[in-house]
């Protein structure tokens, strides 16, 4: 099964979201910054990335999403933030996020979002593989 990379600069969020995603049966990798996340992304190639928008330090979740989606369009990137507005949600979709979660994250919403992301990734990968094998 694909891996889920969770990116947040707060340990409590990493642990809580990570434990929940693992309970749903997914493999979890954690990163505390965009730089660490990109390194893990290149090494482990997760299929799903869940990132906080307001990462402290080197870069934010938007720039992380842009970079990941530039390198691999099949990766599903979910935004996570406690400070969403309507503008933010639309902006997130425009920059390449496939879904968004509002903190505090509800477990049923998290489970649904991750499962939908895996389903969408599976469909996209099948389409790409069929087109490239012709």
For the whole model, what pTM was predicted? 0.90
- In order along its 134 residues, the chain shows pLDDT tens digits of 589 999 999 999 999 999 999 998 999 999 999 999 999 999 999 999 999 998 888 789 999 999 999 999 889 999 999 887 766 778 888 889 999 998 899 989 999 999 999 998 888 777 766 666 76
Percent of the chain residues topping a pLDDT of 90: 61
Domain assignments of the chain as residue spans, ordered by start: 3-133
Calpha distance 59→115 (Å, rounded): 27
Calpha distance 94→102 (Å, rounded): 18
pLDDT of residue 131: 67
Q: What is the CATH class of 3-133?
A: alpha beta
């Amino acid at each position: 099964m694909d891996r889920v990379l969770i990116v947040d600069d707060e340990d409590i969020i990493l642990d809580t979201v990570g434990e929940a995603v693992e309970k749903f049966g997914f493999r979890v990798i954690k990163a505390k910054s965009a730089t660490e996340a990109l390194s893990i992304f290149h090494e482990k190639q997760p299929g799903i990335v869940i990132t906080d928008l307001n990462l402290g330090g080197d870069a934010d979740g938007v720039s992380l999403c842009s970079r990941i989606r530039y390198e691999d369009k099949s990766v599903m990137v979910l935004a996570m933030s406690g400070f969403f507005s309507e503008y933010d949600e639309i902006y997130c979709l425009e920059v390449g996020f496939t879904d968004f979660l509002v903190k505090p994250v509800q477990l049923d919403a998290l489970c649904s979002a991750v499962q939908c992301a895996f389903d969408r990734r599976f469909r996209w990968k099948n389409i790409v593989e069929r087109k490239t094998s012709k």
